[in-house]
Amino acid sequence: MFTQQSAMATTGHNLANINTEGYSRQKVRTQSEQPGNDGTGGGVKRGVPQRVFDRFTSSKIVQEQSNSGIYSERQKFLNKIEIIFNEIDNTGLRNELNEFWNAWSFLANEPESSVAREQLVEQSDALTTKFRNMHGELRTLRSEANSRVAGVVAEINGIVAQIADLNRQISSFETTNRVANDARDQRQLLLEELAGKVDVQWLENDKGEFKVSVGTTGWTLVEGRNARQLRASLLGGETGMHHVKGIGENDYRVDLTNEFRAGELQEALMLRDKVIVDYMDQLDDLAFNLAQDVNRHHATGTGLNSGFERVKSAYGLNEDAQFQPMPFLKDGTMQLHLLDTEGNFLETYEVGVQAGVDTLHDIVDRINETIQGPLVVESTEEMQSVPTEAQEDFDVMAEDLFVPLSLRAQVEDDGSVSFQAGEGRRFIFGEDTSEMTLVMGLNHFFRTLKGAEDIQLSDRVMAEPNQVSTGKDLVPGDNQVALSIAQLQTTPTMQDDTMTFDEFYNGILADVGLRIERTQIEKEHQDNLLAQFQAIRDSVSSVNMDEEVTDLVQYQKAYEASAKFVSTVDQMMETVIQM
């Protein structure tokens, strides 16, 4: 009777937990007692309730949870990337690029039109704003992935603390011959949850305690009743980006950032450090190369003002860099055309540049030497510095010394280069095979150092659309520059001159689409695989109400039969006593 009562209680426990996640049904195993010396049966021996548990299938579920964690995290972030590169409603970057090229074509057809110039400036500003906004949205998404890293680490620490506590409970119960089935179910569920966060390896010792480790090096997170922590640290590496470190005894720390192989944590790190960064870099490449190619044509052209009185470069070099060979230059020549106030050509100067050798000051000095303007005395102190024995000659030359220079270049205090025309003179930049004008940002249309992150329209062009270069020869209607820039749309200049700007951006869009499609397929396959293993486990371990009710009826009937047996024996004994 006691055996049937225990079995009925276990069945009731199963029914009560029919909806409990991770619960494995339990069953009381019975066996017959040893018979007496006369061979008479000794009845039934009651066993303890045991979990109905498929260890192999549960192990496979833990392994597959790590892969499921990868695809779930990846799909979530790729969907957000798709929103950033959205081109469905004609508000994306592709539309802005098309409008930008159309604006240059319109200006090439009407190079002296104020309306065309204003439209170009407006559209160019919209394009740079779109670049910066998209880059900012990707940067924000990367920060979200970085926060996700810290969040997953906190979740892992909470789980491993619970596993360590359950290890203690299970060990305490089972060493005193008590049952810890429910605690084992909870621990298994936590192990599966942990596997979704990070790849795990685990072993069970003879006390029933789990040892759980993670990563390629097998860093131990849980051993018996002791749990180690992971920490999302900002120390070292890229500013603001979390590194994942394992915290051992005596505050011993080891960097595990690159040790994880699966799970949400590994995917969050991959998205943060590779996928999102790759898209940011590609967007930077597109914006930077677009700006460079437009500036290369624009720098050697002229607007409607027929020349400059003063131009200052957009970029400057720090003091140390000024006296080192300038980077990014090519062996070649830089042309300067001197004009009068009517825009007539007076002189053309060609200045040679030697890449990898010339410093900024070398080039500026060579420009001034090539122009060969008269010496200008700028102060009385300079006059006083002339030796006494040369004073008479100096007095004779004084009148010439104060004749204004026709054109002069100089290095400013901020490391930039400025060109100043003398009174009654103007100048324009000519052909530049050395790319000095491009490198320093002279007569530039766009300004950028990094690409999409900081691209913007030139302040000078923004303030005065007439400064937009359309031609070269100062002839009314000249559209050489505007036409050459408009033709950049169909000219392969990206990826070693194998792709146009549009093709390059279409490649980015195609990559996003393919990643999303592939992830959807892989996630669906992984979900189906995991569901199959869970179905196999459930067929063994889950509670089936019909089976439990059938067992309950059997135990009830067995209990009633046992009670009838006891009642019958009692009656027989009473009869014997009364005889």
Using one digit for the tens of pLDDT, what is the confidence trace for 46-56? Answer: 777 878 888 88
Do 21 and 71 have their domain in common?
no
Which residue, 274, 300, 331, sits at the end of a domain?
274
Mean pLDDT of 278-295: 96
What's the DSSP call for residue 328?
A: T
Alpha-carbon span 426 to 407, nearest angstrom: 8
Which residue, 274, 291, 318, sits at the end of a domain?
274
Do 239 and 318 have their domain in common?
no
Do 354 and 410 have their domain in common?
yes
Do 62 and 20 have their domain in common?
no
Do 268 and 351 have their domain in common?
no
Is pLDDT above 70 for 422? yes
Do 196 and 146 have their domain in common?
yes
Convert the pLDDT of each residue in 426-449 to its tens digit.
999 999 999 999 999 999 999 999
The pLDDT-based confidence of 87 (bands split at 50, 70, 90) is: confident
Alpha-carbon span 187 to 181, nearest angstrom: 10
Do 326 and 405 have their domain in common?
yes
554 is a domain residue: yes
Do 375 and 425 have their domain in common?
yes
What pLDDT sits at residue 48? 77
235 is a domain residue: yes
Do 23 and 62 have their domain in common?
no
Convert the pLDDT of each residue in 345-385 to its tens digit.
899 999 999 999 999 999 999 999 998 754 444 444 444 44
403 is a domain residue: yes
What pLDDT sits at residue 14? 76
What's the DSSP call for residue 499?
A: B
Do 187 and 223 have their domain in common?
yes
The pLDDT-based confidence of 216 (bands split at 50, 70, 90) is: confident
Alpha-carbon span 147 to 158, nearest angstrom: 17
How much is the pTM? Answer: 0.83
Is pLDDT above 90 for 551? no
Is pLDDT above 70 for 222? yes
Is pLDDT above 90 for 474? no
What pLDDT sits at residue 385? 46
Do 239 and 182 have their domain in common?
yes
200 is a domain residue: yes
The mean pLDDT value of the chain amounts to 86
Is pLDDT above 50 for 86? yes
Q: How many domains does the chain have?
A: 3
Domain of 409, in residue numbers = 309-383+395-442
100 is a domain residue: no
Of 485, 454, 476, which is closest to residue 103 (Cα–Cα)?
Answer: 485
299 is a domain residue: no
38 is a domain residue: yes
Sheet holding 332-340, edge to edge: 345-353, 332-340, 425-432
424 is a domain residue: yes
| Among 140-149, 251-260, 270-279, the least confident range | 251-260
CA–CA distances in Å: residue 16 to residues 248, 373, 525, 548, 568: 41, 101, 34, 11, 35
The pLDDT-based confidence of 75 (bands split at 50, 70, 90) is: very high
Do 327 and 430 have their domain in common?
yes
